[in-house]
Structure 1
Amino acid sequence: MAASSQGPVNGVGEDKTSVRRQSEANRKLKYISLAVLVVQNASLILSIRYVRTLPGERFFTTSAVVMAEVLKVLTCLLIILLQKRGSLRAFIKLLYDSIFVQYLDTLKLAVPSLIYTLQNNLQYVAISNLPAATFQVTYQLKILTTALFSVLMLRKSLSRVQWVSLVLLFAGVAIVQVEQEGKQKETTVSSGSQNYAKGLVAVVVSCLSSGFAGVYFEKILKGSSASVWMRNVQLGIFGTFLGLLGLWWNDGPAIAEKGFLFGYTPMVWGVIFNQAFGGLLVAVVVKYADNILKGFATSFSIVVSTVTSVYLFGFHVDLLFTLGAGLVIGAVYMYSLPKAASPSSSSSSSSSSSTVSSSSSAHSRSHLSNSDADSETDAFLPKSVLVK
């Protein structure tokens, strides 16, 4: 009897040890996720601002958009091939079935792809004409536009805290714009190649397109069985084609004269690789990050962008900008809080439940990883593949 009673005790001890190890591993993954999200959010904006303000002849942004799409498609194709264990027959069959046989699903992606291509080009325009910190703060309006389109198109409901956070977000951006308006004349005099009004219009239109495209993307692909990598291949095909059209329309004669890769330096290649691979990396990493962590990462990246802009670009931080940026940072964090309440409560209840309930919880989590987690990643992915 003593030996038989000892078994469950040892089993409980082993369960506690495995749970402790799993929680430690999850904690490490969250910290890694935080670092990746912050670095990707801040570095892309700062690097684009840097390469677009260097003296001398600049690269064509339309060619950079196309190159990023091509690299993204090739990366996703490689991942799909690896998932098929290198079987070319299975790989080609999957591509043919997903792109051509299910052509209606592929065609549905033409609209968001067009918007994302426009958004990519607009963000180059915005960052070329706005200080990096100002762009980073103003671009958080995409949270407001995404929330509004979610309510209108998906009939989602927002909590009181979320509505308050959206009001604070708008107020913070407005304060930053009022503060920057006072510096507009000074900026125009010091750099005639930069147009603040043009950059502001570009970032506002980019926020509107980001909100609409993200919600539309979520709506048309609900219930779809395609993986996140296949969806990016479908998006990338349209994005490359539409990007080439924009390239021909806007810079065709100049590119024909100077070449597609004109002005490409190692720093420019770094920006393009960050655009192409950074978003895909974040899409994977975000599976290990809850909404609070994503909100904190976005807020922290604003601080990083602001501090770095002071040293790299001579950006001046005054009281109004600090107040506006503080409101935006707080609003971003507040908006993420309600979304994280449900997962935390469910995880705490599962940890205090019995072995049977924990196994059913594990089953539900594995189901969520194939459905809800993928839909969360897909909704986040269009924003992360582009500039955040």
Structure 2
Amino acid sequence: MVSSHSSRLKYLSLGVLVLQTTSLVLTMRYSRTLKEDGPRYLASSAVVLAEVLKIFACICLVFMENNFSLRAMNLLLEEEIVKKPVETMKLAVPAGIYTLQNNLLYVALSNLDAATYQVTYQLKILTTALFSISMLGKKLGLYQWLSLLLLMAGVALVQWPADSGKDSEQKILTAGSQFVGFMAVLMACVSSGFAGVYFEKILKETKQSVWVRNIQLGVFSFVFGFIGMMVYDGHSVMKSGIFQGYSAITCIVILLQALGGLVIAVVIKYADNILKGFATSLSIIFSTLISCFLLRDFNPTGVFFFGAVLVIAATFLYSCPGKPASGSSSIKV
């Protein structure tokens, strides 16, 4: 019964993650391309506020887990966070790496075109698999390795740039800047894989509530994010405030970002980072389809549809019988 319950939660959380990621991509794109009279909202401030919302949501969930007893919740947080500083400091590692990763992605997008960045960044799925093997002792069978290869090929085809006559634009990028962009993406893939598996290892080695762990991670992420905001956008913040350019769509983006952190935590708890990568890849396909048929700002090609078929096939192949157990069925929240 526990295994069946965990399996249902695993695929439910993956489905919610696909929905959340797809919605976030579409709303974020709309919010960043919407023409406004005033200044555009700062992405760094949105990241910080999303962490605040995530911390608040996790505190509410811990409050519920303790039968809505404020005293019991305070005792739990004091016991697990304040009185265990070594355990708490372990969460500073993934939080710091995630902050570094976000900075690297800004460097990458400053030196590479979007299509090249999207294709290269999918290497994070492979790095996650390798870190899962080395750090968690996972063993991937033939089907799993084949599914990873299919996934990489499929996502690469989905993101393959169409011939739109932008050769002159690509020539602007020098060989040096392209190398810097590629190295930034590569480092981001490695840091993403390591941080994700490190957090998964912490979650699966403890009986502590996943929400308590996310409070710890959120606090460190907030600190690092706030420092990053002041370093990169400090002048704009001092001049126009943190909430400059905010609108209803901005608030929706922040809410979806906060929800994404919680859903990913559940996915890592009940599934693993590799399946999270598959969910993210599927969301890329769904986002592109919605852009094509609803927003009508994308013209799909035969290469895209072939890549979509490969990604979907890889998703099912990874779940084929005979896959090594991930050990998640014995874990309770």
Aligned equivalents of 1:255 and 1:49: distance in 2? 22
Q: Of 310, 316, 319, which aligns to 1:327?
A: 310
Kindly provide the amino acid, as one letter, of the partner of residue 199 in structure 2: F
Query: 2:46 is matched with which residue?
Result: 64
Aligned counterparts of 1:255 and 1:332: Cα–Cα separation in 2: 43
**Displacement after TM superposition at 1:327 (Å):** 2.5
Structure with the bigger percentage of helix: 1
Instruction: Select which of 116, 119, 130 maps to 2:98.
Output: 116
Matched, 1:243 2:218: no
RMSD: 4.1
More divergent stretch after superposition (196-205 vs 221-230): 196-205
Match of 1:231 in 2: 213
Task: Decide whether the 8 Å contact of 1:295 with 1:333 is kept in 2.
Answer: no
Cα deviation, 1:3-39, whole Å, max 9, x if unaligned, reads: xxxxxxxxxxxxxxxx9xxx9x999989966753432
* Cα deviation, residue 44, structure 1: 1.0
- The answer on whether the counterparts of 2:24 and 2:257 sit within 8 Å (CA) in structure 1 is yes
- 1:85, distance to aligned residue in structure 2 (A): 2.7
Structure 2 residue aligned with 1:386: none
Q: Which residue of 1 aligns with 2:55?
A: 73
Q: Distance in 1 between matches of 2:21 and 2:315?
A: 14
SS in 2 for 1:157: coil
Highest Rg: 1 or 2?
1
The corresponding residue for 1:218 is 200
Q: Secondary structure at the match of 1:180?
A: coil
Please name the residue that 1:47 is paired with: 27
Give the whole-Å Cα distance in 2 for the aligned partners of 1:171 and 1:329. 12
Q: Deviations over 1:13-68 (max 9, x none)?
A: xxxxxx9xxx9x99998996675343212111111122112223321111001000
Taking structure 1 as reference, are residues 31 and 223 closer, same or farther at Cα in structure 2, changes over 3 Å only?
Answer: closer
**Do 1:137 and 1:302's aligned partners in 2 also have CA atoms closer than 8 Å?**
no
Q: Secondary structure at the match of 1:317?
A: coil
Name the CA distance, whole Å, in 2 between partners of 1:298 and 1:35. 10
Matching residue's letter, 1:180: P
Deviation at 1:334, TM superposition (A): 2.0
Q: Give 5+ residue unaligned stretches, structure 1.
A: 1-18, 190-195, 344-363, 375-388
Aligned counterparts of 1:276 and 1:127: Cα–Cα separation in 2: 23
Query: In the superposition, relative to structure 1, how do residues 29 and 85 fare at CA in structure 2: closer, same or farther (>3 Å)?
Result: closer
How much has 1:161 moved relative to structure 2? 1.2
Matches within 5 A, 1:138-287: 140-176=122-158, 179-180=160-161, 182-183=163-164, 185=166, 205-281=187-263, 283-284=265-266
Q: Comparing 51-60 with 120-129, which one deviates more in the overlay?
A: 120-129
1:238 deviation in Å?
0.2
- Where relative contact order (Cα < 8 A, 6+ residues apart) is larger, the structure is 2
Give a deviation string over 1:112-165, Cα, whole Å, max 9, x none.
01122344566688899977x998776554321210112233332211111112
Of 337, 340, 346, 2:320 maps to 337
For the pair 1:315 / 2:298, whether they are aligned, the reply is yes
Counterpart residue type for residue 280 of structure 1: L
Q: Distance in 2 between matches of 1:112 and 1:214?
A: 7
Using the alignment, how far apart are the partners of 2:133 and 2:271 within structure 1? 24
Structure 1 window deviating more from structure 2 (300-309 vs 38-47): it is: 300-309
Q: Name the residue aligned to 1:90.
A: 72
Give secondary structure in 1 for the equivalent of 2:166. Answer: helix
Q: Scaled by the length of structure 2, what TM-score is found?
A: 0.77
Q: How many residues align?
A: 320
| Contact 1:135 1:203 survives alignment (8 Å) | yes
Tell me the TM-score normalised to structure 1 length.
Answer: 0.68
8 A contact 2:135–2:197 mirrored in 1: yes
Residue 200 of structure 1, CA deviation = 7.5
CA–CA distance in structure 1, aligned partners of residues 108 and 29 of structure 2: 9
